[in-house]
Amino acid sequence: MRRETSRPRIGDLVRRAWLANRALTVMGTMLVLTLVVTVPLIFLDGTQITGVRAWVKPTKFAISGAIYAFTFLWILSLIQGHRRLVNIVSWITAGTFMLEMVIIVVQVLRGTTSHFNFSTALDGTLFGIMGAAITIFWSVGFIAAVLLLRQRMDNKALAAGIRAGLIVALIGMALGFLMVRATPGQIAANRAGRSTGIIGAHTVGLDDGGPGLPLLNWSTKGGDLRVPHFFGLHALQVLTLVGWVIGLRASRLGGRRAAALVWSAAAIYLGLVGVLTWQALRGQSVVSPDAQTLVAFGLLLVASANLTLLVLRAPNAPRPSAAEWSGPGSRTAGR
């Protein structure tokens, strides 16, 4: 007699996601379908924008957005109550990101850059809309973080990973606002009447469009604010995974110690984002760290080891007795 496997099919996963959150399911699915179009176009269309094949940018945004959509969908499903507010957060998240995605594609089709572009009235208007959309996107993410901080979860380590991941992700998103400032070169060009219509840049110390890492295109010659922005944004996935892995050991570590270990990992991860931001703002490429940067990374590594040992050696809280759990005034009383 053959034993049938119970592996979930893609269709089943999509149906379950649809029942849990329609808005983010639509967003994630549309972005995955976008990749079916944009990935081949990277190779079929030789058009370049700021020195990079035109369809690389929408492809990167689609990948990042799809990952965010399905991660955020699962996280929001953990919130009990507040269904109306959760639905509002979901639809606004999906709507603002897809609006930004549409503008990016439109600008690619026009053969020009979408970010920092004020070359024409249309370009400036589109970038202004993108800026408003991402601000709203960040704001509803903040609302979700508040709801999750108030939400009780049995798995303390996983709860800590989700909460810390969302907080660091919001910080990572906010780093994007550092890119919209006019660079010294742009300020000088404007004063001399030689404006290029570009205000802001990913790269620090150089113009955008120089040599960069494959696919990511992070500058290999100057600082690049996309590096800390990327690591900060995807803390949501990294720290949630850390919380889940540590949560598997919660029976040995104890709930409080496991959660403390996750928050320690989050503090170190935030320190990493901080060092990468500092490095980028100094105009230094992520692949060419100087002595100061290496010392900062070294101190971060030492702090990580010491903080981990401190948490592991700390006495764990005693487990409550059966009488404490079932007696009057206990956590379970009145349920």
What does pTM read for this prediction? 0.85
Please tell me the predicted confidence (pLDDT) of residue 245: 93
pLDDT higher than threshold 90 for residue 265: yes
Distance between CA 283 and CA 254 in Å, rounded?
Answer: 44
- Average pLDDT of the residues in 301-318: 83
Q: Among 18-22, 172-176, 290-294, 327-331, which stretch is predicted with the lowest mean pLDDT?
A: 327-331
Please tell me the predicted confidence (pLDDT) of residue 18: 80
Domain ranges of the chain: 14-152, 185-315
Please tell me the predicted confidence (pLDDT) of residue 152: 87
55: exposed, middle or buried (C-beta count within 10 Å: 0-12, 13-18, 19+)? buried
Convert the pLDDT of each residue in 31-83 to its tens digit.
999 999 999 999 999 999 988 999 999 999 999 999 999 999 999 999 988 89
Please tell me the predicted confidence (pLDDT) of residue 317: 54
Inter-helix orientation angle 83-109/56-76, to 10°: 180
pLDDT higher than threshold 80 for residue 278: yes
Q: Among 9-18, 102-111, 238-247, 320-329, which stretch is predicted with the lowest mean pLDDT?
A: 320-329
Architecture category of domain 14-152 in CATH: Up-down Bundle (1.20)
CA distances from 193 to 63, 116, 187, 188 (A): 39, 18, 10, 9
* 138 neighbors 170 (Cβ within 8 angstroms): yes
Q: How confident is the model at residue 163 (pLDDT cuts 50, 70, 90)?
A: very high
CA distances from 116 to 58, 101, 120, 247, 269 (A): 16, 15, 12, 43, 29
Average pLDDT, the chain: 88
157: exposed, middle or buried (C-beta count within 10 Å: 0-12, 13-18, 19+)? buried
